[in-house]
Structure 1
Amino acid sequence: MSLAIFDLDNTLIGGDSDYLWGQFLIEKGIVDRERYEEANARFYEDYKNGTLDIVQFLEFALRPLAANPVDALWRWRTQFIEEKIRPLLLPAAVALIEKHRRAGDTPIIITATNRFVTEPIARLYGIEHLLATTPEFENGRYTGRFVGTPCFREGKVHRLHEWLAEHDHDLADSWFYSDSHNDLPLLSLVGFPVAVDPDETLKAYAEQKKWPVITLRNGKCPEEHARRLAKSRHTLRIK
C-alpha cells in the first residue's frame, strides 16, 4: 500500500503553526513579549536558513507547556486553532488529500512541530496518522522535555521507519509533499517527491531533479498534478 505523506507547516496550511503558537502566547500575555518574541523570530529564521538546533529550539518551545496547567493549555489551544489556524486551511490541500484517498493511498502528516499543537490540525483535515515531535507528559502535566527522536530533518526519516515497522506500506510507491529544504532527506527517499510552494533552496533542487513543483495556495488541486497522480499508478516514478 502507498502513502500520501504531507509536511504540515506552509504545505497543508498557509503558515507555520509552531511560530504562530508562539505569537499567540505572546498576544495573550502568557509569555514575556520582548524575550519570547525575539527568540521565536530567531529560531524561525534558523529553521528557514537550515541552521536550526532542534534540541535547543524544543527546550524553548516546550517550556510554556510545562509552565501552565493542562486545562488552561487545552483552552488556549482551542482558541488558537479557531483564531490562527482555521483561516489558514487550504481548500486545494483538502482536494489533494481526497484525491489520494480515492486512489487508495493512506494520508499521513509528518511534522517537526510538536504533537500538542498539531494534533487538532490533523483532525481538521481528517488525517488519522500523525508523526510529530512528542512532548513528554507525566503525572498530569507536560514536563518541558520531548520523548524519542525529534521529527525534524533526518529525524523524520527515523520516525517514519519506526512507523513503517508496524504498518504495511511501500515508500517506493509513496508520495511526500513539502515546502522546505529541511525535508530533503525524506523527499529523496520516496518514489514521488513533490515541492509545494517551496522555499528557494528546495525549488532549485526540485527543478534540478525534475520533481513536480506545485502550489496549493490558489484554491484548487493543480490539474496537471492530478493527472500526474493518476498516471503514476501505471507508469510514472520520479527520481
Structure 2
Amino acid sequence: MRWENLEAVCVSPWRGRDKGQELERLAALAGEASADAAVAMESANLPVPIIEPASPPPPPDLTAAAFFDVDNTMMMGASIFHFARGLASRKYFATSDLAGFAWKQVKFRVGGREDKDTVSSAREQALSFVAGKTVKEIIEVGEEIYDELMADKIWSGTRALAQMHLDAGQRVWLVTATPVELAGIISRRLGLTGALGTVGESVDGVYTGKLVGDLLHGRAKAHAVRALASREGLDLRRCTAYSDSQNDVPMLSAVGTAVAINPDAGLREVARARGWEIRDFRTGRKAAKIGVPSVLGAGALAGAVAAGLAYRRR
C-alpha cells in the first residue's frame, strides 16, 4: 500500500463526515450513560431525617428543572484539576505530572479545541489516573478533597440561583465533564438533586481507566440533558440552563431559558446575539441583564468578591 493511502486510512475517522459521525456517536453514548448514572444515583440516595420546615415547602414543579455547568459557573476553576491536586497530595500520581495533566485538560475543556490530537489526549487521560482503583475508594477520597479544595470555591451568586429553583419546587442538576462520581459529591454537598458527568467504565466496582462514550463535553451535555428530560418527564421548554463557556451553547440551546454565568468572550457574544441573560460574579457586581429575564425572574444574588480575590492570589 502506498504511504499516502495508508495515511488516509489511519486518519480518515477524523476527516469530514466520518469525524463528525464518530464524535456525535460518542457524544450520544456519553449523554445516555450520564443520564442513566444520574437516575441511578438519585434513586440510591439515602433518606434524610425529616425536619419540620419553618414554612410549608413549595409544591413540586415536576416538568421544570435547572441545569448548571460546574467549572467557572458553579465553582471557581476546574473541578477535575482540584480533584487531581488532591489525588497528587495522596500520591496517586507524581506532583510533577500535575502541570501537564492540567494543561491538556484545560486546553480541551476550557479552550474547547476539538482537533484530533487534543480530543484523543484528553479522552485517554481523563480517568487514566484512577485505573485500577475501586469506585468506593475514589468516592471516599472525593469527599475529603471536596472539603479540602472545593467547598470554599463555590460561587455564592450561582449557588443562590440554584437555590432559587429549589425554592420554586424545581429539581436542579449539575452538568459537567468531571467524573460523575465527583459531580455527584458536589451536587450532594450543595443540596441539589443530582448530577450529569463523565462516566468511567468499571468492572466489578473497579475502574478500567476507559470512558463510556466520551467526555461529557460540548454536544454530549446536550444529549445528556435531553436523555435525562426523557427519563424524568421534563418539558425542556420550561427548563433553564447556566454556563460560562461557548462550548456549552448546545446545552444552553436545548432548553427554554439560557443564562450565561461569568461568560467567556465567545459565550458573551452568543448571549448578546440571542438575547440570553448574563450574570457575572467575578467582579462582585451583577452584569447587565440582556433580553428577557429568566423563567423565575431576577432574584437576589450575592457577589463573590472575597472568593474571587482568593482565586486570583492562588
TM range (shorter): 0.7 to 0.9
1:125-144 aligned within 5 A: 125-144=190-209
Shift of residue 25, structure 1, vs aligned partner: 2.6
Residue 118 (structure 2) pairs with residue 60 (structure 1): no
Query: Residue 59 of structure 1 contacts residue 145 of structure 1 at CA under 8 Å; is this kept in 2?
Result: yes
Give the structure-1-normalised TM-score: 0.84
SS at match of 1:151: coil
Among 36, 43, 48, which residue is 2:105 paired with? Answer: 43
Distance 1:101 1:221, change over 3 A: farther
RMSD: 2.8
SS at match of 1:49: coil
Alpha-carbon distance in 2 for matches of 1:217, 1:172: 29
Give the structure-2-normalised TM-score: 0.66
1:17-166 aligned within 5 A: 17-52=79-114, 53-54=118-119, 56-70=121-135, 72-166=137-231
- Partner deviation per Cα, 1:197-235 (whole Å, 9 max, x = no partner): 01111112212222111024577998979x754459xxx
Query: Residue 277 of structure 2 contacts residue 294 of structure 2 at CA under 8 Å; is this kept in 1?
Result: no
**Percent identical:** 26
Query: Residue 26 of structure 1 contacts residue 37 of structure 1 at CA under 8 Å; is this kept in 2?
Result: no
* Matched AA of 1:30: Y
Alpha-carbon distance in 1 for matches of 2:173, 2:101: 30
* Matched AA of 2:173: I
* Matched AA of 1:2: A
- Deviation >6 Å, runs of 4+: 218-225
Max Rg structure? 2
2:304 corresponds in structure 1 to none
Among 72, 96, 106, which residue is 1:10 paired with? Answer: 72
Alpha-carbon distance in 2 for matches of 1:36, 1:75: 21
Shift of residue 104, structure 1, vs aligned partner: 3.1
Residue 238 (structure 2) pairs with residue 173 (structure 1): yes
Give the total of aligned pairs. 232
1:205 corresponds in structure 2 to 270
* Matched AA of 2:131: A
Shift of residue 85, structure 1, vs aligned partner: 0.7
Shift of residue 91, structure 1, vs aligned partner: 2.6
- Partner deviation per Cα, 1:177-197 (whole Å, 9 max, x = no partner): 001111011112221110000
Alpha-carbon distance in 2 for matches of 1:20, 1:36: 10
Among 183, 187, 193, which residue is 2:258 paired with? Answer: 193
Query: Residue 136 of structure 2 contacts residue 205 of structure 2 at CA under 8 Å; is this kept in 1?
Result: no
* Matched AA of 2:164: K
Shift of residue 84, structure 1, vs aligned partner: 0.8
Alpha-carbon distance in 2 for matches of 1:78, 1:220: 31
Alpha-carbon distance in 2 for matches of 1:5, 1:65: 27
Alpha-carbon distance in 1 for matches of 2:288, 2:105: 36
